[in-house]
Amino acid sequence: MTSDYNFAFLDENTKRMLRRALLKAVAIPGYQVPFGSREMPLPYGWGTGGIQLTAALLGPDDVLKVIDQGADDTTNAVNIRRFFARVTGVATTERTSEASVIQTRHRIPETPLREDQILVFQVPEPEPLRTLEPREAETRTLHALADYGLMHVKLYEDIAQYGHIATSYDYPVLVDGRFLTSPSPIPKFDNPKLDRSPALMLFGAGREKRLYAIPPYTHVESLAFDDHPFEIQRWEQQCQLCGSGDSYLDEVVTDDRGSRLFVCSDTDYCGQRRAEPAA
């Protein structure tokens, strides 16, 4: 740890403000708590919300993992991991099972999480109703009155246009039967992992200055119609590196003649499976 920064970059008062907001968020699952978002040394949209939450959570004994679209080795993940290694001196890891705090963008790890782990999401747009209702005062009123018919208008539009619910990421959920919540742009493949998760899930939107939480073992329901139930993506392929048939696959174009490769988006999960001898 260098002496140029306070531990975890943010000053203690800011971290205190964030922790108070986080406590409130945990107390009201799915409710968007406003907080005084600070300037961070990376642009909005790169995870300023997640990075502030992580800064408020980290202690010297924590082990941090940062993933971006499931991968530990992309620019966003590498930079944030290096940032925290530098300003806190905490240990970092790429192994999901070894981490105590996991900051993530757009994925939930395939490896099941435990009660002693915290997942921090980077959220670009915390308001699930925003595309349908641009007025902030109005969306807040809708949340206050639990008046969520509007969200089904969007799902209706999907079915009318595509024949099925085409929303495939940032799929709206109802948390604890009360608050309509954006799960951040995770694929809907990961939505079932939100339901009654043993790990605490925290969501930070830096530009929008909102944070919210899904506490452990909270019921999270993905919205749907009676005759068009919620479904996750499926692939005909298996991961061509580790052979997994039940993880979220990325399609990688390998040349300009139409060759493509399907691989796990979760690099740690894929790597572990390849390291283990096939059992």
Q: Does 166 bind another protein (CB under 8 A)?
A: no
Which of residues 159 and 241 has its CB atom nearest to another protein in the complex? 159
Footprint of another protein on 121-150 (CB under 8 A): 132, 141, 145, 147, 149-150
Q: Does 13 bind another protein (CB under 8 A)?
A: no
Tell me whether residue 30 is one of the annotated catalytic residues: yes
Q: Which of 49, 50, 204, 270 is catalytic?
A: 270
d(CA 253, CA 48): 30
DSSP for 33-68, written as a single string: EE--PPP-SS-TTSSHHHHHHHHHH--TT-EEEEEE
Which of residues 28 and 132 has its CB atom nearest to another protein in the complex? 132
Q: Does 227 bind another protein (CB under 8 A)?
A: yes
Among 157, 176, 195, 250, the residue binding another protein under the rule CB under 8 A is: 157
Which of residues 157 and 176 has its CB atom nearest to another protein in the complex? 157
Q: What does the block give as tokens for 262?
A: 């399907």
Q: Do residues 194 and 220 touch, judged by C-beta distance below 8 A?
A: yes
Q: Does 73 bind another protein (CB under 8 A)?
A: no
Which of residues 137 and 278 has its CB atom nearest to another protein in the complex? 137
Q: Which of 36, 163, 242, 258 is catalytic?
A: 242
Name every residue whose Cβ is closer than 8 Å to that of residue 27 and which is 6 or more positions away in sequence. none
Name every residue whose Cβ is closer than 8 Å to that of residue 60 and which is 6 or more positions away in sequence. 7, 88, 89, 90
Q: Do residues 211 and 203 touch, judged by C-beta distance below 8 A?
A: yes
Tell me whether residue 270 is one of the annotated catalytic residues: yes
Q: Which of 149, 239, 245, 258 is catalytic?
A: 239
Name every residue whose Cβ is closer than 8 Å to that of residue 260 and which is 6 or more positions away in sequence. 251, 252, 253, 254
Q: Does 161 bind another protein (CB under 8 A)?
A: yes
d(CA 262, CA 238): 7
Tell me whether residue 264 is one of the annotated catalytic residues: yes
Q: What does the block give as tokens for 32?
A: 């968007």
Q: Which of 30, 47, 49, 206 is catalytic?
A: 30
Kindly state the smallest distance separating residue 159's Cβ from another protein, in Å: 6
| CA 78, 84, 85, 90 torsion-angle sign | negative
Q: Does 258 bind another protein (CB under 8 A)?
A: no
Q: Does 156 bind another protein (CB under 8 A)?
A: yes
Tell me the catalytic residues: 30, 239, 242, 264, 270
Provide the binding-site residues for another protein, judged by CB under 8 A. Answer: 132, 141, 145, 147, 149-150, 152-154, 156-157, 159-161, 224-228
